[in-house]
Structure 1
Amino acid sequence: MSLSKPIYSLVGIYLEQLFNHPVRTKSITSSILAGSANYTAQRIAGQKVNQESVIAYSLFGLIFGGTVPHYFYRTVERLFNHDMKFRRFFQFLSERLVFAPFYQLLSLYFLSIFEMNSHEVAVANLKKLYWPLLRTNWQYLSIPVFLNMAFVPPMLRTVTMSIVSFIWVVYMARRRRRLQEKSTGDSDKKGNQ
């Protein structure tokens, strides 16, 4: 019983911050979760932790992870008003067909840039990973997105998807790391020939 009081207090403080400062709170939450997910992916892979990559994911979460989803969900709520038939379905479709492709592109490009890669390398990584990751996103994240749109209050949607995105970021970080290792291995083979 004594442990639950501090937890309720922290949740209350968090919800108060979320209500009073939604973008800042969502951005900080997204930053912490994205950096933690990247760290987790590296640890699962048994690698030495690449701090630059953890910082890149945290920076992306801070700059884009709270703001872009916040304004997207807000806009979708306004566009599809309460009187509209199949409102949640249209919100879901807009998330899957507009937001997910845009956000996937944004994340792949800027994560590469934040890891100090050149524009050319970022675009090359984007070309290799965009479609496979987007298809996987549609395949595995559509049900959580639908449940989020249907049952979670608008104020909590970004935070809820940030928590779901923790798993997605672990997957995406591992996939990006494999691509980088493969391209490094391929360039080493060409250099040795």
Structure 2
Amino acid sequence: MTVQSRPTNQVSLPFPSSLLAFYLAQLNSHPLRTKAITSGVLSALQEYVVQLLTEKSSRRKGKARESDRNAILDNKIVKMGLYGFFISGPLGHVLFESLNRLFKNRTGASWKLLQIIASQLIITPIHNIVFLTAMAIINGIKDPEEIKASVKKSLWPIMKMSWVVSPLAMIFAQRILPPQIWVPFFNLVGFGFGVFANTKAKKAQQLKERDSDHED
């Protein structure tokens, strides 16, 4: 799931919020930095939530210590935060700024539809490939061929989910929301999508590991 990026201008907000106003002001004056920080925080929080949701089924039997499990959890949270700050946030900023410039001053339903199609066929695959590659590395896969196989295995399922969730979210934003709050809205959508996709992937991996243990 990708996060829509759109610069904002100082406007009168439909609902007063000092926190949202501060965020929008930072987004307007320092877009790249603000998006990188936002992505870093949400990526770390996403990993934390996923770890909590899959914690019970991820406990190893017998000799595993609670401190070891917490150390792994914390390590992955930090790595996800770094991924969000240095990779996901800046990448989303560059890709969507390019898309926005391409469709600048182009209005009408046909142009909006074309923008959605371009986003889904170009930006979404790039984001998902980078995301899956990072997840493979964070999860300890080092061999390039194994990383490639992991990405190839997971890419189509996550693309199908993205092609359902992302266009619906974009249509909703285009028709209902003022452009000034598109960025926080898509951040929340991306966070929810990421939690769902990561939880599903981790549970599948845990099931595979349990089946392997039974065979041994």
For the aligned pair, the TM-score class normalised by the smaller chain equals 0.7 to 0.9
What is the match of residue 31 of structure 2?
A: 22
What is the match of residue 6 of structure 2?
A: none
Going from structure 1 to structure 2, the CA distance change for 1:16 and 1:83 (only over 3 Å counts) comes to closer
Q: What secondary structure does 2:156 align onto?
A: helix
Larger RCO of the pair (alpha carbons < 8 Å, separation 6+)? 2
* 1:73 aligned to which of 87, 96, 99: 96
Going from structure 1 to structure 2, the CA distance change for 1:117 and 1:156 (only over 3 Å counts) comes to farther
Task: Quote the offset at 1:27 in angstroms.
Answer: 1.0
What is the match of residue 43 of structure 1?
A: 52
Question: Can you give the 5+ residue segments of structure 2 that lack an aligned partner in the other structure?
Answer: 1-15, 57-68
Say if 2:50 and 2:195, in contact at 8 Å, map to a contact too.
yes
Say if 1:52 and 1:115, in contact at 8 Å, map to a contact too.
no
Which has more helix, going by share of residues?
1
Task: Quote the offset at 1:12 in angstroms.
Answer: 2.9
Say if 1:56 and 1:115, in contact at 8 Å, map to a contact too.
no
Say if 2:54 and 2:203, in contact at 8 Å, map to a contact too.
no
Going from structure 1 to structure 2, the CA distance change for 1:170 and 1:161 (only over 3 Å counts) comes to same
Question: Can you give the 5+ residue segments of structure 1 that lack an aligned partner in the other structure?
Answer: 1-6
Going from structure 1 to structure 2, the CA distance change for 1:166 and 1:128 (only over 3 Å counts) comes to same
What is the match of residue 158 of structure 2?
A: 133
Say if 2:36 and 2:86, in contact at 8 Å, map to a contact too.
yes
Task: Quote the offset at 1:84 in angstroms.
Answer: 5.6
Tell me if 1:103 matches 2:127.
Answer: yes
- Percent identical: 24
What is the match of residue 192 of structure 2?
A: 167
What is the match of residue 148 of structure 2?
A: 123
Say if 2:40 and 2:81, in contact at 8 Å, map to a contact too.
yes
Say if 1:26 and 1:159, in contact at 8 Å, map to a contact too.
no
* 1:91 aligned to which of 115, 131, 145: 115
Task: Quote the offset at 1:107 in angstroms.
Answer: 0.2
Q: TM-score, normalised by structure 1?
A: 0.81
* 2:76 aligned to which of 35, 42, 53: 53
Cα RMSD, aligned residues only: 2.4
Distance in structure 2 (CA, Å) of the matches to 1:184 and 1:131: 22
Distance in structure 2 (CA, Å) of the matches to 1:158 and 1:69: 11
Residue correspondences, number: 184
Distance in structure 2 (CA, Å) of the matches to 1:23 and 1:39: 24
Distance in structure 1 (CA, Å) of the matches to 2:212 and 2:149: 14
